[in-house]
């Protein structure tokens, strides 16, 4: 089974599922900071300063976490693209091998059940690689979408 960076350590999930809630929380904190500024004249300046500092601190921490998660996603994106390339190469090699099997069969090297078993095995492997590549492409799209939210 092919794994992705961070999978065993639980650092990130495919497609940035941990990052989306962080982005939502960042939006909430930014909105609260806007409301604090909007209502600053109605409250004691010390209170405004203390509350603003608290929310600014939370936002700074969150921004650091978003940046860390984004870096992990970018690393994962590179790995996924490499894996997709390897899987596509596996499909190409499998298809060539299947073509070679047909030629060898026509030459009498393989026949009957042997030919069917070997052919079936090669086709299953090709389909497996295609399916995996498709899955990784879907994750690449998801990750690009999440990273797009970060980059604005």
What's the pLDDT tens digit per position in 29-44?
Answer: 999 999 999 999 999 9
Q: End-to-end CA distance of the chain: give it in Å, rounded.
A: 35
Report the half-sphere exposure of 20 (CA within 13 A, side-chain side): 10
Cα gap 118→123, rounded to integer Å: 9
Q: Is the pLDDT of residue 96 over 50?
A: yes
**Mean of the pLDDT values across residues 115-127?**
96
Q: What pTM value is reported for the model?
A: 0.70
Cα gap 75→14, rounded to integer Å: 12
Q: Report the Cα 78 to chain-centroid distance in Å.
A: 10
The answer to whether residues 76 and 4 touch, using CB atoms and an 8 Å cutoff, is: yes
pLDDT band of residue 141 (cuts 50, 70, 90) is: very high
**Mean of the pLDDT values across residues 62-88?**
95
Cα gap 122→95, rounded to integer Å: 8
What per-residue confidence (pLDDT) applies to 112? 86
Cα gap 152→145, rounded to integer Å: 10
Look at residue 43 and give its three-state secondary structure: coil
DSSP one-letter string for 8-67: TTTS--GGGTTHHHHHHHHHHHHHHHHHHHHTGGGS-HHHHHHHHHHHHHHHHHHHHHHH
Please tell me the total number of residues recorded for the chain in this structure: 152
């Amino acid at each position: 089974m092919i794994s992705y960076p961070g999978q065993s350590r639980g650092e990130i999930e495919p497609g940035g599922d941990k990052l989306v809630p962080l982005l939502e929380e960042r939006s909430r904190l930014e909105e609260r900071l806007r409301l604090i500024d909007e209502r600053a004249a109605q409250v004691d300046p010390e209170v405004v300063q203390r509350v603003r500092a608290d929310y600014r601190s939370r936002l700074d921490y969150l921004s650091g976490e978003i940046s860390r998660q984004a870096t992990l996603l970018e690393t994962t994106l590179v790995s996924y693209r490499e894996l997709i390339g390897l899987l596509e190469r596996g499909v190409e090699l499998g298809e060539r091998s299947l073509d070679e099997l047909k030629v060898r069969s026509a030459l009498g090297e393989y026949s009957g059940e042997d030919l069917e078993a070997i052919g079936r095995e090669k086709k299953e492997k090709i389909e497996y690689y295609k399916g995996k590549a498709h899955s990784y492409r879907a994750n690449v799209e998801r990750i690009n979408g999440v990273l797009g939210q970060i980059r604005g």
